[in-house]
Structure 1
Amino acid sequence: MTRYLHTMIRVTDPDATIRFFELLGLKETRRFTSEKARFTLIYLAPEGQEEAEVELTYNWPAEDGSAEIYTGGRNFGHLAYRVDNIYETCQR
């Protein structure tokens, strides 16, 4: 069985992006931060539809203060699905 998990987009301003999605009725459901890898993942979903998440990926600015600029369509990251058996799915 295939199950939709989330859609990921990269963001440069998490607070502003969260405010935008809140206007659409989405709320933060969970958050994961990796200080070692310097990123934060923020998951949002409409109330009662928590299975339809948007994952915001915020890559922290470089330690020298410079920020990576997302241009040329690089903001879209991935669609995530769960399948029962990835090997069988790839074989098909």
Structure 2
Amino acid sequence: MRLLHTMLRVTDLEKSITFYTELLGMRLLRRKDFPEGKFTLAFLGYGDESDHTVLELTHNWEVASYDLGTAYGHIAIEVEDVYAACDDIKSRGGQVVREPGPMKHGSTILAFVEDPDGYKIELLGGGR
């Protein structure tokens, strides 16, 4: 068994694809419209789906907003340098919602950014 993907519902697919590809460095692996169901699926990741867990973005064409709820926590992404990654994300218009620094009650360097729909993404330094 292996983990295949995580799915997030998004309100603006193009804006979300731009965020995950241009700010977080993922590649758009595949995308498909389902006109009869009025939705589009886009799969993004850092490698081929046959070898990597990926992110599925689901855009329901007639939905303008979602309640993120209180159960969702975050997606974690390892980066080489958390400080540099945050500087790069900010310079491209991304929102850092927790500046880089040591984890509370620990020494792991981390930060949080937010995607266009408000989902939190944790950035962790390599070699945690």
Relative to the length of structure 2, the TM-score reads 0.48
For residue 2 of structure 2, what is the amino acid of its counterpart?
R
Higher relative contact order (CA 8 A, sep 6+): 1
How many correspondences in the alignment? 68
In structure 2, the residue corresponding to 1:17 is in which secondary structure? helix
Once superposed, what is the RMSD of the aligned Cα atoms? 1.9
Could you list the runs of 4 or more consecutive aligned residues of structure 1 that deviate by over 6 angstroms after TM superposition?
none
Q: Which 5+ residue runs of structure 2 have no aligned equivalent?
A: 73-128
Shift of residue 49, structure 1, vs aligned partner: 5.4
Relative to the length of structure 1, the TM-score reads 0.65
How far apart, CA to CA, are the structure 1 residues paired with 2:64 and 2:15? Answer: 17
- Equivalent in the alignment of 2:67: 71
Does structure 1 retain, via aligned residues, the 8 Å contact 2:29–2:48?
no
In structure 1, the residue corresponding to 2:4 is in which secondary structure? strand
In structure 2, the residue corresponding to 1:18 is in which secondary structure? helix
Aligned pair in 2 of structure 1 residues 54, 72: CA closer, same or farther (>3 Å)?
A: closer
How far apart, CA to CA, are the structure 2 residues paired with 1:54 and 1:4? Answer: 11
Q: Which 5+ residue runs of structure 1 have no aligned equivalent?
A: 62-66, 77-92
Aligned pair in 2 of structure 1 residues 28, 37: CA closer, same or farther (>3 Å)?
A: same
